[in-house]
Amino acid sequence: MKASDIRQKFLQFFAAQGHQVVPSSPLVPAGDPTLLFTNAGMVQFKDVFLGKEKRSYSRAVTVQKCMRAGGKHNDLDQVGRTARHQTFFEMLGNFSFGDYFKRDAIDYAWRFLTGELGLDPAKLWITVFETDDEAYRLWQEVAGVPSDRIVRMGEKDNFWSMGDTGPCGPSSEIFVDRGEEYACGPQCGLGQCDCDRIQEIWNLVFMQYNRDETGTLTPLPRPSIDTGMGLERIAAYLQGVDSNFETDLIFPLIRTLEDMTGVSYDPGPEGMPFRVIADHIRAITFLLAEGVSFSNEGRGYVMRRILRRAMRYGRLLGFESPFLYQLVPVVGEIMGDAYPEVTNGQTVIQELVKNEENRFLATLSAGMRVLAQKLESLQPGAVLSGEDAFQLYDTFGFPLDLTRDVADEHQVRVDEAQFEVLMQEQRERARQNRGKTVQHLPAPGPTTFWGYETLELDNEPIQAIFLGDDRVERLETGDQGWVYLARTPFYPEGGGQVGDTGWITTATGLAEVLDTLKSGETIWHVVAVRQGFVKSGQPAQLRVSVEKRLAAMRNHTGTHLLHAALRQILGEGVHQTGSLVAPDRLRFDFSYPRPLTREQVTAIEDLVNEWILQDLPVHKAEMGKDEALAQGALAFFGDKYGERVRVVTVPGASQELCGGTHCTRTGEIGLFAILEDSSVGAGSRRIEAVTGLNSLTAFRERRAVSDALLTLFNGTSLADIPDRVRQLQEEARQLADALREKERQARHERGRQLAAEAHLVGGYRWLVERVEDTASVEELREVLDGVKERVDGAVLVANHHDRVSLMVYFGERVRHLGHRARDVVKELARPIQGGGGGRDDVAQAGGRNPEGIARVLELAQHWVAENFDRAG
């Protein structure tokens, strides 16, 4: 059955049951900043389920375009490796908003699968939530499913929730048994394994509860239904193919790639490049059709990662020039009838893809050479530094997942933690310099900041709007641009404090203020239009996020108190070198030559909290700069000040020049907690801290750790626990060292025993052997150490978790004949799809094809026979 027929049958069936046919919503969700992409059919009905929106219908059916790449739901790394994972896919779904419930949902699903699609009822299995007796009974009553094909499952598998709180409920999943030929073993079965024999095809969610902050479930007055069935997956079953990639939705792309390359598709691991490219060009085409642009952030960067990953796999098929753009018309041929947007803009989409390919090709070859050089210097099992991965990203535009894919093929891991640290540092640098991005915009005029007095302004005319570099009259839904007003309550980023966020509302639209920046005397609002449009000249209602502003105020006043405490505890030589004041935390960099002691940290924390408990007034006053400095006010790290300055004073504690927003009394801070003292370079320290409820959270976390330790060390006082832990660490280290040495000796002895089985070939003792039960290349090397003592040459191969390790040893007698282990290992590694290198005496290789081990041994034996039969 064609996928287009399945799609049409689904819509027609549920329309006949009184469902409103609702078109697919865009891949870029409207008005939901929490999601990068629409990742399920229910996304467009989220507000309906939450009771925030009313529709003219109470039951609906959709075929929804979905993307799972980036964000929480991210299948990108798995695409091509499995038969099921995709970035772009279609979700068939039927929904009830307080209308029908479990009985009808089960009835509809069963009738559609067995009636409309003709699935054999005897091959269908059902799971229900472990306590959902009603669903269990209804599957028997309504569908006639025998009890031995209904399986109760736990919350992890069969309970769905929209978030930590809110609507939730049990789910019931329908699986199809694809047959014994797909079984992974004699124990294969639903709930027993995760192989491809019994495959989920449809999930029915029974939204019947509301979960509150305590976790208590309360029945909803109007229970609802949310279902989802992947079109590609059900098509694969109905078309009798082994994977989603072999359906008529994707396989024409693979056939086109075969024609373009002259390489035949392999449904196994060798076919991964075909699957990656076919999936990724679908995602790219649909995203471009919806107006997403390639960029270095957000959705645009995810799309860029997808394209670059596809290009890297294209190189494995022999592509050295742009090729992805040639596949765009094939996507149109397959999907155009259902989604005209992919054919309507086909020429533009092709051009955008080709241009992006050309941009990346300029650096791809150079980057691959650099990466290959770095990997050649590493042994299998080693780690590529995060610094190297970041260099590849920063210099050659290599996304981390591309570097990780290549490293995986060489059995090398990437230090992703270090990479993320470097990425975060770059983001912080970019944030510190982001004000420069508005410098190129022409200043419409000065802005008067009203945010000291109020967090709201009404009827303030929008004076100017920019989209990129261009001044425009309006911004539409989905646009992100710059808005200028003559007056604003939004604080612009400055003095370490982040810019305010909030909302700008006009009669025609709603724009979220993502950030506020200043250029000269002009304050710019970075906005994203969430609903309707906003237009130049319209009167606007400005609303600062109160919660975030108040949190930033607490942290900013807390930063001043921290600075004062540091100077009081550590000495007047402490100088501020940088700061960050955000709603959720504060960070303070200062000059100091050594780490703080525990006693110093406690004293600083105590002093700040003492000032908070005193509930001291926080005075703000404008005065001449010279007057302020004469009074002892502190000025900082190259800040530029005018003749008139704003001075923030906490009597008896702090006095600083500062234009930021602050509390009116120190008591409003509530509480202060230092999270970390760290080094940021020679002679410079950094303190990270929190205030208010975040401090309480920090203290509670510490108390929870203390309580857990007291429980573990029953009978030990809290004060004695550090010494007890140190003692246990030393004991554990000694035991681990002893165990490692014992295991090393055992593997060494095993090598000696294996060497006893060596064969004499031409007067030389040779061992060619597959070694079982080694968990890593290091362990195989230890076996080889024992072998080397008793042979002239050896070839050892082992399989570790779907990876293959190969080691070649040539003794002095063999090397004297001119043979080098590092030359031979490369030839022997071909059947395991690996590469390697090493020294003349010992070399190693890693591969990813365990099926090639027998061939490696055969080649090794042939090489020995060919070179040594007559050597003696």
Cite the annotated binding site by residue number. 556, 560, 658, 662
Q: 803 phi and psi, to 5 degrees?
A: -120, 150
The helix-helix angle for 853-868 and 821-828 (nearest 10°) equals 140
Beta bridge partners of 226: 95, 205
- Helices assigned H by DSSP within 66-143: 102-111, 133-141
Q: Distance (Å, rounded) from C-alpha 287 to C-alpha 38?
A: 11
8 Å CB contact between 40 and 302: no
Q: Distance (Å, rounded) from C-alpha 192 to C-alpha 781?
A: 36
Among 73, 61, 150, 151, CA closest to 112: 61
Alpha carbon 93 to chain centroid, angstroms: 26
Question: Tokens 């959902």 belong to which residue?
Answer: 132
Q: Distance (Å, rounded) from C-alpha 520 to C-alpha 812?
A: 75
Among 112, 38, 100, 36, CA closest to 70: 36
8 Å CB contact between 457 and 487: yes
The kind and range of the H/E element at 627 are helix 625-630
Among 791, 725, 737, 801, CA closest to 761: 791
Report the SS3 class of residue 559.
Answer: helix
Q: Distance (Å, rounded) from C-alpha 656 to C-alpha 647?
A: 6
Alpha carbon 494 to chain centroid, angstroms: 30
Q: Distance (Å, rounded) from C-alpha 374 to C-alpha 368?
A: 10
8 Å CB contact between 469 and 440: yes
Do strands 20-21 and 59-67 pair parallel, antiparallel, or not at all (unpaired)?
parallel
Among 519, 483, 3, 589, CA closest to 239: 3
8 Å CB contact between 735 and 729: no
For 154, other C-beta atoms within 10 Å of its C-beta total 11
Q: 38 phi and psi, to 5 degrees?
A: -65, 120
Q: Distance (Å, rounded) from C-alpha 581 to C-alpha 496?
A: 6
DSSP secondary structure code for residue 665 in this structure? B
Q: Distance (Å, rounded) from C-alpha 823 to C-alpha 863?
A: 12
Residue type, 487: R
By residue count, the chain amounts to: 872
Residue numbers in the known binding site for Zn(2+) are 556, 560, 658, 662
Q: Please give the C-alpha separations between residue 780 and each of 230, 807, 854, in angstroms, as whole numbers.
A: 44, 8, 17
For 635, other C-beta atoms within 10 Å of its C-beta total 16
Query: Which value, to the nearest 10 degrees, does the dihedral of the CA atoms of residues 96, 102, 107, 112 take?
Result: 50
Mapped to the 3 state alphabet, what secondary structure does 238-285 carry?
HCCCCCHHHCCCCHHHHHHHHHHHCCCCCCCHHHHHHHHHHHHHHHHH
The helix-helix angle for 251-261 and 272-289 (nearest 10°) equals 120
Report the SS3 class of residue 26.
Answer: coil
824, two tokens: 């031979």
8 Å CB contact between 549 and 491: yes
For 205, other C-beta atoms within 10 Å of its C-beta total 26
Kindly provide the residue ranges of all beta strands, DSSP E only, lying in 468-560, ordered along the sequence: 470-472, 474-476, 480-485, 487-488, 502-505, 509-519, 522-535, 539-544
